[in-house]
Structure 1
């Protein structure tokens, strides 16, 4: 948070406790100067900058909730927006240089390096598709890989992201505990069929 404060450290600073409602009303108006908002327990903060963008900082738990897509993916999205607005808002390029995205974008499953959360997801999918693990084992391993991928800001291309999203929705429709199974939930075999279709697209 000290990094966020550095940018406004030479400006007059007022400190106040505010409600969510009053904060929303303040942010809803056009800001005349930067606004730094910190959580009451100082686990995270937001800096609403004068050029219309927001910087976020905090501990792991705070960022897991505030940046569910992963920090690096949000940085990459900011970079694309900054390029589009380069002539209208040149200062955005300074922000990109100070907070660059770290991970490359993987277009194909063949580009994904071992040891990443995405690689763990792919490994679970291939093993499940070839009857190497059970449906509950697959779902637990895949979701664990997804959490790791989000935490580390891993990025995948459009088609690979679409494939992963398809698997995520399938797992959401699957019940780990058959005693809680309801009509409309996927069975083990139906979940495996979903995964096999996706893996088949990759030619693997």
Structure 2
């Protein structure tokens, strides 16, 4: 597993366990994803699908409530959406390769 991918998985785990806020998750995800892409890091299979879906969720989320549009996800909605994705895919946390089931 590449370094940025490991950081993304750790951040995903932290957010679903609520040890990272939605704003921290959004900021960190974008930073680590850019780093992974600029370093040529690639993931495939289920993990790529998870990363793509998280990206789409973050596109519908604005960390600053003052700037949030009515159709944007709230912090709680983002957390619920990410948790549903994790449950749906069976992702198990850091160290998982994206293909293991719960």
In the superposition, the TM-score normalised over structure 2's length comes to 0.82
Question: Which of the pair has the greater relative contact order for Cα pairs under 8 Å at 6+ separation?
Answer: 2
**Pair 1:203 & 2:92 matched:** yes
Partner of 2:45: 158
Q: Which runs of 4+ in 1 moved over 4 A?
A: none
1:148 to 16, 35, 44: 35
Question: How much does 1:183 deviate?
Answer: 1.2
**Pair 1:167 & 2:51 matched:** no
In the superposition, the TM-score normalised over structure 1's length comes to 0.43
Taking the aligned partners of 2:86 and 2:9, their CA distance within structure 1 comes to: 9
Is the 2:8–2:33 contact (alpha carbons within 8 Å) kept by the matching residues of 1?
Answer: yes
* Deviation per residue, 1:46-84 (Å, 9 max, x gap): xxxxxxxxxxxxxxxxxxxxxxxxxxxxxxxxxxxxxxx
Alignment of 1:14-33 (within 5 A): none
Taking the aligned partners of 1:133 and 1:203, their CA distance within structure 2 comes to: 17
| SS of residue matched to 2:63 | coil
2:9 to 122, 144, 150: 122
Question: How much does 1:125 deviate?
Answer: 0.7
Question: How much does 1:197 deviate?
Answer: 2.2
Q: Radius of gyration: which is bigger?
A: 1
Question: How much does 1:187 deviate?
Answer: 0.5
Is the 2:50–2:85 contact (alpha carbons within 8 Å) kept by the matching residues of 1?
Answer: yes
| SS of residue matched to 2:40 | coil
> RMSD value over aligned CA atoms?
1.3
Higher strand share: 1
**Equivalences, count:** 91
Alignment of 1:185-200 (within 5 A): 185-200=72-87
- Structure 2: gaps of 5 or more residues: 94-102
Higher helix share: 2
* Deviation per residue, 1:120-145 (Å, 9 max, x gap): 11111100000101100110011111
- Structure 1: gaps of 5 or more residues: 1-111
| SS of residue matched to 1:132 | coil
